[in-house]
């Protein structure tokens, strides 16, 4: 973990951006935290007001389950992610008061809110300079690494490669770029190949491990439960509507076998398998660990709701299919009657390829994504003979 140093130039940049309470800048090379607060009585104690803002940014993850590998996978903790990012070394902040409104803006020299990237590495704090190897000639100061100012932007472990994370829904696909960390702050290599895994759940298939199966199923049901409770942010509205009869997904080995056959072709395109929904994702990072691959893919698909939004209309329309901002991966993951899931991860010559199949398939034109209403509390709230998992707000297919 690196120590943050105050940067006067970044402070000036921040002030110029918000001095009139009209934020207009867009930094590609900076991470930023910005919040606007109103108080009819004004702000008589400015330091206390700013401290309250920082405390709120820092405390937002408390009610959100964190990834066990410290990966940034939930945009609801974006303020925290930027504050905690272990490779950030500079900060500059400013505030502006315009009547009853106060804007607070902090800039950071490194972006800690890239989906699927580690915010920090778990381990012991540094004790000596040799423990700090992310940047050349770093020192250790009371458990925090300190970057040498003369080594600005000189990363001692520039092993991270560009990753093309590609997803496909229907006939469209989108590509986003980012850096995948392959060293920790002490310079230790982080493996990107498969960890030892078992294959007891679907022994007739070979493209997944039990650990990857458990991970992808857990992620899907976690998202569906959060959606059912009305906790998922929608860019075109504050939150997506609650879901009344969302089914809990189960893992299906036959679906996995079909997905495996698809993935083995190493062709990034949909198959003609009838009756199933399909989500595809790939990265140019070769031999990516399969647990990580399904995590990155699932979060990439679900993030479409926060990035592009769907709005209050809860029905699949032709307009949705034709718009440039793809959201079909999210809608398939959220399709309430799709309850069987089977996925495959294939290590191809030029990519790691993830294929997930859903049954019954979703994304049906003019059909609702899910039934809107309060999540189930009793078995009677679920269709037919299905039972309710009230804590999750999901219906079990029995």
Average pLDDT over residues 295-300: 92
Q: Is the pLDDT of residue 175 over 60?
A: no
Position 371 scores a pLDDT of 96
Structure tokens at 358: 């859903």
Nearest-angstrom CA–CA distance, 366 and 101: 44
* For residue 182, pLDDT beyond 70: no
pLDDT value at position 324? 81
| Residue 5 to residues 108, 128, 317, 321, Cα–Cα distance (Å) | 10, 19, 50, 47
Q: How far is CA 390 from CA 301, 334, 387, in A?
A: 26, 18, 9
pLDDT at position 189, please?
33
Percent of the chain with pLDDT over 70: 84
H or E segment to which residue 215 belongs: helix 210-228
**pLDDT of amino acid 134:** 85
Tell me the per-residue pLDDT of 275-287, one tens digit each, with 9 for 90 and over. Answer: 999 999 998 888 9
- Indicate the helix (H) or strand (E) that contains 9: helix 8-18
Q: What is the pLDDT of residues 306-344, one digit of tens each?
A: 888 888 788 999 888 788 888 999 999 999 999 999 999
376 token code pair:
């189930």
- Residues β-bridged to residue 140: 145
Every domain of the chain and the residues it spans: 5-123, 163-396
User: Is the link from the previous residue into 333 a cis peptide, with omega within 30 of 0?
Assistant: no
Question: Does pLDDT of 252 surpass 70?
Answer: yes
User: 3.40.33.10, 3.30.390.30, 2.80.10.50, 1.10.3470.10: which CATH number matches 5-123?
Assistant: 3.40.33.10
CATH architecture of 163-396: 3-Layer(aba) Sandwich (3.40)
Helix (H/G/I), strand (E/B), else coil: 232 = coil
């Amino acid at each position: 973990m690196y120590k943050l140093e105050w940067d006067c130039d970044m402070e000036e940049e921040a002030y110029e951006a918000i001095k009139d309470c009209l934020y207009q800048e867009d930094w590609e090379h900076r991470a930023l935290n910005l919040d606007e607060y109103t108080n009819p009585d004004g702000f008589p104690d400015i330091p206390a007001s700013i401290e309250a803002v920082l405390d709120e940014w820092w405390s937002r993850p408390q009610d959100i389950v964190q990834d066990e590998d410290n990966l940034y996978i939930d945009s609801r903790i974006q303020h925290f992610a930027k504050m905690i990012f272990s490779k950030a070394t500079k900060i500059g902040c400013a505030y502006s008061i315009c009547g009853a409104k106060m804007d607070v803006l902090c800039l950071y020299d490194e972006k800690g809110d890239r989906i699927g990237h580690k915010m920090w590495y778990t381990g012991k704090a540094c004790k000596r300079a040799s423990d700090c190897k992310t940047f050349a000639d770093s020192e250790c100061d009371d458990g925090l690494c300190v970057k040498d100012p003369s080594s600005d932007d000189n990363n001692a472990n520039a092993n991270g490669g560009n990753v093309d994370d590609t997803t496909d829904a229907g006939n469209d696909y989108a590509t986003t770029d980012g850096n995948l960390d392959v060293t920790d702050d002490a310079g230790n290599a982080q493996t990107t190949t498969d960890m030892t895994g078992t294959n007891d759940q679907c022994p007739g298939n070979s493209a997944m491990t039990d650990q990857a199966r458990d991970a992808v199923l857990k992620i899907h049901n976690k998202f569906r439960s959060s959606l059912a409770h009305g906790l998922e942010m929608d860019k075109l509205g504050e939150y997506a509507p609650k879901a009344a009869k969302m089914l809990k997904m189960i893992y299906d080995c036959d679906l996995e076998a079909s997905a495996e056959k698809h993935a083995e072709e190493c062709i990034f395109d949909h198959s003609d398998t009838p009756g199933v929904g399909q989500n595809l994702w790939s990265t140019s990072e070769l031999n990516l660990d399969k647990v990580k691959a399904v995590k990155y893919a699932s979060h990439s698909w679900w993030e479409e709701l926060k990035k592009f939004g769907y709005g209050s209309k809860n029905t699949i329309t032709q307009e949705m299919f034709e718009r440039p901002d793809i959201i079909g991966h999210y809608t398939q993951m959220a399709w309430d009657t799709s309850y069987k899931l089977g996925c495959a991860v294939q290590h191809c010559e030029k990519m790691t390829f993830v294929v997930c199949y859903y049954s019954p398939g979703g994304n049906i034109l003019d059909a609702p994504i899910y039934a809107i209403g309060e999540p189930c509390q009793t078995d009677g709230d679920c269709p037919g003979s299905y039972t309710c998992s009230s804590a999750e707000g999901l219906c079990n297919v029995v």
